[in-house]
Amino acid sequence: MAELSAVVAQTLLAVMLAPGLVGLIRWIKARLQSRRGAPPWQIYFELRKLFAKEIVISRTASWLFRAAPLIVFGTSVVVASLVPLVFIPVAFDRTGDLFAAVYLLLLGTFFLALAGLDTGSAFGGMGSSREMTVVALTEPTVALSIFALALTAGSTNLGVIATRTLADPGMALGPAHVLGFPALFIVALAESGRLPIDNPSTHLELTMIHEAMVLEYSGPYLALIEWASALKFFLLLALAANLFVPWGIAQSLAPLDLLAGFAALTVKMAILAVAVAVLETRVAKLRLFRVPELLSASFVLALLAVMSTMFVR
Amino acid sequence: MTTRGVPLALAVATAGYLAGAVAALLARSSRGARWAAAAGASLGSLAALVLAVQVLVTGAPVDAGIPGLLAVAGGVVVRLDGLGAFFLAIVSIIGLPAAVYGAGYSADETTGHLRSLGFMLNMFLFGMSLVTCAGNVLTFVLGWEVMSLASYFLVMVETGDPETQSAGLWYIAMTHFGLVLLLPMFFLLSSSGGGASFADLRLGAGMLTPAMRNVVFILAVLAFGSKAGVVPLHVWLPRAHPAAPSHVSALMSGVMIKLGIYGLVRVTLDVLGGGVVWWGGLLLAVGSVSALLGVLYALMEHDLKRLLAYHSVENIGIILIGFGAALVLDGYGLRSAALVGFAASLFHTLNHACFKALLFLGAGSVLRQTHTRNMEQMGGLITRMPQTALLFLVGAVAIAALPPLNGFASEWMVFQTLLAGAQIPRPELAVGIPMAVGMLALTSGLAAACFVKAFGVTFLAMPRSERAAQAREAPLSMRAAMALLASACVVLGLGASMTVPVLYRALEGLGGVSPAAAAATPGLWVEGAGRLAYVSPPLLAASLAVVVFLGWLAVRRALGRARLTDTWGCGRIGQTPRMEYTASAFAEPLRRVFAELYRPAEDLTVSTHPESRYFIRSITYTSEVHPWFEAVIYDPIIGGVRRASTEVRRLQGGSAHLYLLYVVAALLGALGWVWWS
């Protein structure tokens, strides 16, 4: 029972922190570009504003358009309950593994892409088509990164992977981790629509992917979708942080451990936020048809991670 | 006759199918034929289901048969064990809704071919059931041929257009290619075993040299692979499945190609006993290629039924990935991990049967109401056929392997099998397994993209043609049949952990598999190999439901006051279907990414004004994707057969004297051979 409430609390923590991460990256980017920038917590005001606004729905749209944001938000939150953030769940670790997490996120994307087609606008269709293309092409890398992690841990369940790495720190310097991490980092950027694959801060029709797909959403629905995609981004980065570098995460529910776990999570996420901000300041968006090249590169990294792990054994 | 009640079910099933077939032929009206066929097939499949469940629950095989019938060849012998019962259950679970659906589907037709349709449908189901129950070679081949011929005639029901005729030709040629290899395979096995029952074949396989066992295995892969639709033997599948009436397509894609898998499992695992690593490796490679090519060609398809047919190629590939990986594990002696893989492939077989049949029935409803198979002519059906749309969506989510439905559970088990295979320290596996994982993952990602396209273009947005705008909801019998299959997808997904022990029961005793170790108490969790990984679809579904409900509470009030308006369109005046994204446009990015593979034939014609080339009068763009490797493989074969038949025709001089000479020469030759040997 204690673990159940801890899992619920951890999930809520992820849900609450996720927009902050996006806001933080925006703020760091602004600073790097010599702008003052809005404070990191500005995004919470934006969400609150959206929740207070009215919903405008296209006449062409069906119930699917109305259901999709809820499903997208739901899948992200369920994935949040699976990821070890502050502490490692033991009993609840069995609910879902890494494959379940990835396929749940895919379920959300699936419905969002359908909603993009539902309004009959060319923008929505274009966004759906591109989003599904990018997602489909990231799948092999994701699966192989999972494999690289699972090979050394023997299991795909997230808690087990983190616990094993903590128990055997020598593993973390193995090829699976060293090559798997950049692979997963690239697909994390691709899946959450960040540079250099997609630009989250533009509505320029010829370059956008995710923003085109959700163009017809407004008010609380848009808030849910933005929140869900912030959460997805947060979780993908948290996965990269806590599975490859699990140190600091709490292995019991003792208050001091939890505090240390929270501090460790904050530090790791802040480092990753800086990395993303620097990257987004340094690189330009890739042409859509150059994106597969980047994804193939990440695939090769992941393939090498798995193969080298299997060879050196 | 082991149990008293069981042969009754067997008798009822046989009687149901045969009576349905005869009654449909003799019916006075086409309406009578329709219902007689449906009633016979429903009775037959229900009784067969009872039989299958009884065998799976008790674990005791059923023996029966008519040894006197065709006694020379061994007689008709029925022996239904766990594996057979599992596949008989698949035949019945899909047979029942297909029969019900068929009654509604053909309601508009009053032509005479309804009688033959009803007859053939019942014979088709009967033949497929017989294959799963066969206890000896004769019964197996008999069922196999009844199944193949009945389905051939079912494909040819709507003859007339040359496309159907060509489809039928491809189908009959490929199915007999399979039979031609099937017979020597059985011959090799039975000649050393001394009998033609499967028990004798098992004995015979034990006495074969390893080289001959390899030959038997290769023959089995080719023969059963051509039925299952494995690349490159799949060529008949995307041609024949769309040509048949939709409930027949559902049976062909959902069930018949699975009997290819049944034959492969029966021969490889049961008769030959498995245990050879490269067999598994071959199936793993073939499965990966089939899965990926199947989904890639499905993406380029705008014919809804052909798209689904290509997805059958994909899913057969996934089944073979699981089976191949399990054979590899088995070859290295990792029995309990192998068991997870065998169970995964059987589970995916059952799951694919359910969602593919559901999708074909859904496509059939759309086809019947819109009179087109071209997705570019559809759209907006979610408001016109809401229930069909919802049921099709369930099938689409299931086939895209998304949680918490059944496709996810079995694909998850396949991944876990591959993970167990990666623990074996062999260099060839260090290359093969990661490649298989990558291809399987790419396949499932592309499948999700393909079903966004299939569902989105068919059902969402505005109707793209008058026919789609006029569409109405399908009749109740058709929706009921689809609802049955959709609930099977949900139940098999949420109850995956309950289904897995049944799969182990079906595998009991095959190739020395002892599932006692693996048959754990069913909890809420599906387990990976070695009980190292877990997933719980019901818990995931429950938490998803809770969050979605909370989210709904948050937006409920705003949703009640939602303002309805036009789709935003950059200031244009009216929204028309021509502004919507088409299926071709949707698949365009992927077509560019995989252009090397597709090699699309494109044709762009721009006609300009004679005065200035800046005034464009019309633009015509056509683009076609044809699987070029089919031409590379099959054109030489077809050409060779043509040339050979031209040569052979010289023998046919047309003169009776010449033929008499042949008879005498043949007789003398035969006598001489007997003399010498």
Which pLDDT tens digit goes with each residue over B490-515?
A: 999 998 888 888 888 888 877 666 65
Q: What is the pLDDT tens value at each position of chain A, 313 positions in all?
A: 788 888 999 999 999 999 999 999 999 999 999 999 899 999 999 999 999 999 999 888 899 999 999 999 999 999 999 999 988 888 788 888 889 999 999 999 999 999 999 988 888 888 999 999 999 999 999 999 888 888 888 888 888 888 888 888 777 677 788 888 888 888 888 888 887 878 777 666 566 788 888 888 998 999 999 999 999 999 999 998 888 888 888 888 888 888 988 999 999 999 999 999 999 888 888 888 888 888 888 999 988 888 888 877 7
CA B264 to chain centre: 14
Any chain B CB within 8 A of the CB of A47? Answer: no
Quote the DSSP letter at residue A283.
Answer: P
Residue reference for tokens 């009216």: B574
Domain boundaries, chain A: 2-312
Selected for mutation to probe chain B from A78, A213, A291, A309 (highest B CB count within 10 Å) is A78
Supply the pLDDT for residue B514. Answer: 62
Q: Considering the domain boundaries, does residue B647 fall inside one?
A: yes
| Cβ neighbour number for residue A117 with a 10 Å cutoff | 28
Closest CA to B590 of A291, A144, A123, A124: A291
B198 token code pair: 């499967």
- The Cα of B385 is separated from the nearest Cα of chain A by a number of Å equal to 12
| Cβ neighbour number for residue A207 with a 10 Å cutoff | 15
Q: Find the CB nearest B533 among A118, A142, A157.
A: A157
Supply the pLDDT for residue B351. Answer: 95
Q: Find the CB nearest B567 among A100, A119, A313.
A: A119
Closest CA to A243 of A303, A175, A156: A156
- A69-105: b (≥16 Cβ within 10 Å) or e: bbbbbbbbbbbbbbbbbbbbbeebbbbbbbbbbbbbb
Q: Find the CB nearest B438 among A81, A110, A303.
A: A303
Selected for mutation to probe chain B from A51, A95, A218, A309 (highest B CB count within 10 Å) is A95
Is there a contact between B564 and A140 if contact means CB atoms under 8 Å apart? no
Is-contact B138 B70, C-beta < 8 A?
A: yes
- The Cα of B194 is separated from the nearest Cα of chain A by a number of Å equal to 46
Is there a contact between B403 and A104 if contact means CB atoms under 8 Å apart? yes
Residues of A in contact with B393 (CB under 8 A): 64
B123/B20 Cα distance (integer angstroms): 9
- The Cα of A41 is separated from the nearest Cα of chain B by a number of Å equal to 22
Is there a contact between A311 and B430 if contact means CB atoms under 8 Å apart? yes
What is the torsional sign of CA A223, A224, A225, A228?
A: positive
Q: What is the pTM of this model?
A: 0.93
Please give the tally of structural domains in chain B: 1
B380 token code pair: 């907006």
Contacts of B424 (CB under 8 A, 6+ apart): B328, B329, B332, B334
Q: Find the CB nearest B543 among A81, A310, A313.
A: A81
Q: Using CB atoms within 10 Å of the CB of residue A6, give its burial: 0 to 12 exposed, 13 to 18 middle, 19+ buried.
A: middle
- The Cα of A135 is separated from the nearest Cα of chain B by a number of Å equal to 7
Which residue of B lies nearest to A136 if distances are taken between CA atoms?
A: B445
Selected for mutation to probe chain B from A54, A103, A130 (highest B CB count within 10 Å) is A103
Residue reference for tokens 């051939």: B152
B536 token code pair: 């719980």
Selected for mutation to probe chain B from A50, A54, A60, A145 (highest B CB count within 10 Å) is A60
Residues of B in contact with A89 (CB under 8 A): none
Q: What is the DSSP string of B557-594?
A: HHHHTPEEEPPP-TT-S---GGGSPPHHHHHHHHHHHT
Contacts of B231 (CB under 8 A, 6+ apart): B286, B289, B290, B293, B294, B313, B317
DSSP helix/strand/coil, B166: helix
Selected for mutation to probe chain B from A76, A99, A163 (highest B CB count within 10 Å) is A99
Is-contact A117 A143, C-beta < 8 A?
A: no
- The Cα of B403 is separated from the nearest Cα of chain A by a number of Å equal to 6
Q: Can you give the three-state secondary structure of B13-44, one letter per residue? A: HHHHHHHHHHHHHHCCCHHHHHHHHHHHHHHH
Could you tell me if residue A285 is left (phi over 0), alpha (psi between -120 and 50 degrees) or otherwise beta?
beta
Supply the pLDDT for residue B112. Answer: 60
B31/B27 Cα distance (integer angstroms): 8
Q: Considering the domain boundaries, does residue B67 fall inside one?
A: no
Residues of A in contact with B547 (CB under 8 A): 73-74, 77-78
| Chain A from 266 to 305: CB within 8 A of any B CB | 288-289, 292, 299, 303
Residues of A in contact with B381 (CB under 8 A): none
- The Cα of B253 is separated from the nearest Cα of chain A by a number of Å equal to 24
Residue reference for tokens 């699990």: A246
Q: Considering the domain boundaries, does residue B618 fall inside one?
A: yes
Any chain B CB within 8 A of the CB of A228? Answer: no
Selected for mutation to probe chain A from B288, B378, B411, B548 (highest A CB count within 10 Å) is B548
State which residues of chain B have pLDDT below 50.
1-6, 517
Helix ranges restricted to H, B156-276: 162-193, 198-207, 210-228, 237-243, 246-251, 257-265
Which residue of A lies nearest to B381 if distances are taken between CA atoms?
A: A62
Any chain B CB within 8 A of the CB of A251? Answer: no
ipTM (interface predicted TM): 0.95
- The Cα of A216 is separated from the nearest Cα of chain B by a number of Å equal to 7
- The Cα of A33 is separated from the nearest Cα of chain B by a number of Å equal to 32
- The Cα of A250 is separated from the nearest Cα of chain B by a number of Å equal to 21
Of all helices (H) and strands (E), which one includes residue B624?
strand B616-624
Residues of B in contact with A120 (CB under 8 A): 460-462, 567, 575, 577, 579-580
Distances, alpha carbon B213 to alpha carbons A170, B188, B202, B446, B483, in Å? 46, 9, 11, 37, 45
- The Cα of B576 is separated from the nearest Cα of chain A by a number of Å equal to 8
What's the domain range around B630? Answer: 602-677
Contacts of A63 (CB under 8 A, 6+ apart): B382
| Chain A from 121 to 150: CB within 8 A of any B CB | 121-122, 124-126, 128-130, 132-133, 135-140, 142-144, 147, 150
Selected for mutation to probe chain A from B416, B462, B547 (highest A CB count within 10 Å) is B547
Q: Using CB atoms within 10 Å of the CB of residue B668, give its burial: 0 to 12 exposed, 13 to 18 middle, 19+ buried.
A: exposed
Supply the pLDDT for residue B4. Answer: 43
B66/B133 Cα distance (integer angstroms): 13
Distances, alpha carbon A161 to alpha carbons A90, A141, B131, B654, in Å? 12, 18, 46, 78
Supply the pLDDT for residue A207. Answer: 66
Supply the pLDDT for residue B159. Answer: 65
Distances, alpha carbon B277 to alpha carbons A183, B41, B499, B507, in Å? 31, 42, 28, 19
Is there a contact between B544 and A75 if contact means CB atoms under 8 Å apart? yes
Supply the pLDDT for residue B3. Answer: 41
Closest CA to B425 of B506, B334, B363: B334
Closest CA to B96 of B304, B354, B315: B354
Q: Find the CB nearest A64 among B382, B540, B566.
A: B382
A44/A49 Cα distance (integer angstroms): 9
Q: What is the DSSP string of B308-344?
A: HHHHHHHHHHHHHHHHHHHHHHHHTT-HHHHHHHHHH
DSSP helix/strand/coil, B273: coil
A137 token code pair: 């092409």
DSSP helix/strand/coil, B619: strand
CA B351 to chain centre: 10
Is there a contact between A120 and B577 if contact means CB atoms under 8 Å apart? yes
Of all helices (H) and strands (E), which one includes residue A262?
helix A255-282
Is-contact B346 B422, C-beta < 8 A?
A: no
Q: Find the CB nearest B437 among A53, A93, A143.
A: A143
Q: Count CA atoms within 13 Å of residue A32 on its CB side.
A: 16
B296/B291 Cα distance (integer angstroms): 9
Q: Find the CB nearest A110 among B400, B535, B562.
A: B400
Supply the pLDDT for residue B41. Answer: 93
CA A166 to chain centre: 23
Distances, alpha carbon A167 to alpha carbons A153, A170, A262, B32, B553, in Å? 10, 9, 20, 72, 43
CA B27 to chain centre: 32
Direct distance between the N- and C-terminal alpha carbons of chain A, in angstroms, rounded to an integer: 40
Is there a contact between B448 and A288 if contact means CB atoms under 8 Å apart? no
Q: Can you give the three-state secondary structure of A133-148, one letter per residue? A: HHHHHHHHHHHHHHHH
Is-contact B308 B359, C-beta < 8 A?
A: yes
Residue reference for tokens 């089995």: B220
- The Cα of B449 is separated from the nearest Cα of chain A by a number of Å equal to 5
Bridge partners, B79 (sequence order) = B63
